[in-house]
Amino acid sequence: MNQTKLYQHIERLWRYMQLSDDLIQSDCLFVLGSNDVRVAEYAANLYLQGWAEYLVFSGGLGRLTADVFEQSEAETFAQIARDLGVPSNKMIIEAQATNTGENLLFTHQLLTQRNLNFNSFILVQKPYMERRTYASFRQQWPTQVKHLCVTSPKGEFCDYFNEEIDLYTTLSAMLGDFERIKTYPALGYQIEQVIPDDVNMSYQAIKSALS
């Protein structure tokens, strides 16, 4: 397969993984931790623009951050938000979660302990994790919410990877997330989502090119 064709397959999968929701004024910006500090910067700017009253960061240390971050993902992200002007008393930090399910469960427990009954959320993630984050929330969040949208720093796939997050890491993570979209509903972790035939074809083409 030539490079142009492969790139087209990657971009198709990249676009599918994003929902491109319109933002809705919400009670809370809920940031699920990761290795991408640009997510923290983006979420802080959304807060400063007034999209929500509270900013939640969830995440301990995972496979991609254990040897990179000096603190948990949540604490690392929160420090970035403070540096950008977000007040500490408007941030909630959950620093134990090591996967998406724990992000949801531990954050819900923490909000309950603090008597914070948020009824609307803006989920903030990496671009290629938008769809899986939404599907996980809809399946696993213990209470009903009035409205929910998901967002991420926008851009093309070719503009995403950098010196800190390389091409192979990005592509491998995106493929892994797509595989979870396919298999996790049967395990009870996510709601079912429609996967168009051309997206499945692109996934198979990328996997074959990398093998």
3-state secondary structure 159-179: HCCCCCCCHHHHHHHHHHHHH
Domain that holds residue 182: 3-210
Could you read off the pLDDT of 121-132 as tens digits, one per residue? 999 999 999 999
Q: Given its phi and psi angles, is residue 59 left (phi above 0), alpha (psi -120 to 50 degrees) or beta? A: left
Cα three-residue angle 48-120-86, rounded to 5 degrees: 20
| DSSP, residue by residue, 42-109 | HHHHHHHTTSEEEEEEE----TTTTTT-SS-HHHHHHHHHHHTT--GGGEEEE----SHHHHHHHHHH
The first and second tokens of residue 5, run together, are: 């064709």
Work out how many domains the chain is built from and give that number: 1
Distance CA 47, CA 28 (A): 9
The CATH code of the domain that includes 81 is 3.40.50.620
Could you read off the pLDDT of 4-49 as tens digits, one per residue? 899 999 999 999 999 989 999 999 999 998 889 999 999 999 999 9
Could you read off the pLDDT of 112-122 as tens digits, one per residue? 999 999 999 99
Longest Cα–Cα distance of the chain, Å, equals: 56
Residue 65 pLDDT greater than 70, yes or no: no
The whole-model pTM stands at 0.93
- CA gyration radius for the chain? 17
The first and second tokens of residue 204, run together, are: 């198979």
**Mean pLDDT of the 157-161 span:** 89
| Amino acid at position 12, single letter | R
